[in-house]
């Protein structure tokens, strides 16, 4: 009898343990990446494509941010003054540090509705990125997670939100005291977000830094995450911020493996070492590295322009004060590409998908 009691006690403990895994430990096993990759950084002194002309055609800025404290009425005049007629706006991944109640998304939705021909919006970066990073153990039983995923689902169905973004999967302290985000690509909350985006046939703007400033690699986690997400949702569409912040060799592998992955191009010049580990596409003079230029010309349908401007962030070198300089840098770099490739990247791809 004592032996049977002991057996049933162990059985109950096992049942509780398994049940806890089912209800709370919702992480799915992370698969191996679908392609071979390298973690080695490319030489920052390698060959560049010398600028020979200035691209003076149309530009669509597919990655722009507006701080909730900024006077939103100033945005369009600034865009137009720099030759930008169309733009896609969204919260930054860290916007939820100030408030994660969705205020930023609501303001941007209203802005897009008032300028429906010229402004598109991605939603949810403010009320999901930071919240998920603080609640990565949330399960399918979590009412708070359900509430936030339902809000995303409603936003993606409202006809104004064209995607979810900017979602911070991994974001490290590149300088000063930047907030660190380490979301797990296989956690239940992240997979819930991915599933919601895919079920709405929508887009995900993804910020995923594959390497920490100290050289610790997260390539396998990010690329394994892509494998998992596309296995679950083959129709998922992703724009990886800043050319995925990886080498041109890895970027090529990503684009060849996943037809629904696109990338935005950001010019980073005043790096002071901040971006050296995140594979900038240009040298300090603003010239495209030759390997990047070749990739842009060989796969021009897969790239957008994304300045990463942050209207209202006073101490940020990407704010509205530096926007004219950043746009000029973009135009000079684009001018070194074959004209057909430059036009597709500058505006035709964005027009096809978002502004048609």
The encoded tokens of residue 342 equal: 């430059």
| pLDDT on residue 353 | 98
Q: E strands of 183-301, at which residues? A: 203-208, 237-240, 261-265
What pLDDT sits at residue 8? 44
Calpha distance 221→333 (Å, rounded): 32
pLDDT at 356: 86
Number of domains making up the chain: 1
18 within domain boundaries: no
Structure token digits, residue 12: 């109950």
Residue 143 CB neighbours (<10 A): 8
- Count other C-beta atoms under 10 Å from residue 23's C-beta: 12
| Neighbouring C-beta atoms of residue 122, cutoff 10 Å | 28
* Phi, psi at 123, each rounded to 5°: -115, 160
Residue 178 lies inside a defined structural domain of this protein: yes
| pTM for the whole structure | 0.92
Count CB-CB contacts under 10 A for residue 118: 16
For 238, half-sphere exposure in the C-beta direction (CA atoms, 13 angstrom radius) is 30
Query: Domain with 41 in it: what CATH number?
Result: 3.20.20.140
Are residues 307 and 266 in contact, defined by beta-carbon separation less than 8 angstroms? yes
Residue identified by tokens 């950001």 is 266
Q: What angle do CA 242, 248, 253 make, to 5 degrees?
A: 100
- Decide if 7 is inside a domain: no
pLDDT score at 26? 65
Q: Domain for residue 278, yes or no?
A: yes
Nearest to 263 by CA among 180, 344, 152, 161: 344
Domain contains 330: yes
pLDDT of residue 272: 67
Structural domain boundaries enclosing 343: 29-353
Assigned domain for 14 exists: no
CA distance 63 to 70: 17
In a domain, 243, yes or no: yes
Q: Which residue ranges of the chain lie beneath pLDDT 50?
A: 1-2, 6-25
pLDDT of 220-272, one tens digit each? 999 999 999 999 999 999 999 999 999 999 999 999 999 999 999 999 876 66
Q: Residue 220: inside a domain, yes or no? A: yes
């Amino acid at each position: 009898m004592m032996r049977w009691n002991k057996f049933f006690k162990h059985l109950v403990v096992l049942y509780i343990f398994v049940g806890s895994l089912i209800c709370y430990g919702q992480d799915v096993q992370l698969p191996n990446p679908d392609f071979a990759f390298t973690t080695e950084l490319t030489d920052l002194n390698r060959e560049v494509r010398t600028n020979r002309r200035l691209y003076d055609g149309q530009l669509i800025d597919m990655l722009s941010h507006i701080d909730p404290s900024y006077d939103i009425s100033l945005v369009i005049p600034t865009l137009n003054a720099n030759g930008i007629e169309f733009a896609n706006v969204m919260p930054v991944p860290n916007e939820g540090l100030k408030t994660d109640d969705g205020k930023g998304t609501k303001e941007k939705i209203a802005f897009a509705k008032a300028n429906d021909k010229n402004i598109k919006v991605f939603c949810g970066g403010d009320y999901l990125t930071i919240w998920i990073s603080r609640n990565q153990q949330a399960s399918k039983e979590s009412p708070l997670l359900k509430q936030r995923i339902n809000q995303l689902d409603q936003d993606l169905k409202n006809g104004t939100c064209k995607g979810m973004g900017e979602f911070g999967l991994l974001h490290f302290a590149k300088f000063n005291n930047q907030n660190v985000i380490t979301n797990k690509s296989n956690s239940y909350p992240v997979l819930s977000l991915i599933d919601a985006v895919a079920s709405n046939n929508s887009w995900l703007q993804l910020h995923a830094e594959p390497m920490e400033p100290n050289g610790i690699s997260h390539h396998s986690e990010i690329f394994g995450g892509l494998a998992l997400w596309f296995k679950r949702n083959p129709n998922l569409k992703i724009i990886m911020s800043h050319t995925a912040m990886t080498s041109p060799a890895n970027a090529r592998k990503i684009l060849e493996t996943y037809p629904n992955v696109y990338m935005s191009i950001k010019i980073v010049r005043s790096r002071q070492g901040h971006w050296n580990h995140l594979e900038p596409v240009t040298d300090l003079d603003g010239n495209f590295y030759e390997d990047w230029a070749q990739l842009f010309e060989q796969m021009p349908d897969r790239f957008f322009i994304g300045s990463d401007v942050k209207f209202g962030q006073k101490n940020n070198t990407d704010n509205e004060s530096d926007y004219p300089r950043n746009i000029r840098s973009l135009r000079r770099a684009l001018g070194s590409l074959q004209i057909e490739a430059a036009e597709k990247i500058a505006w035709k791809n964005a027009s096809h998908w978002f502004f048609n």
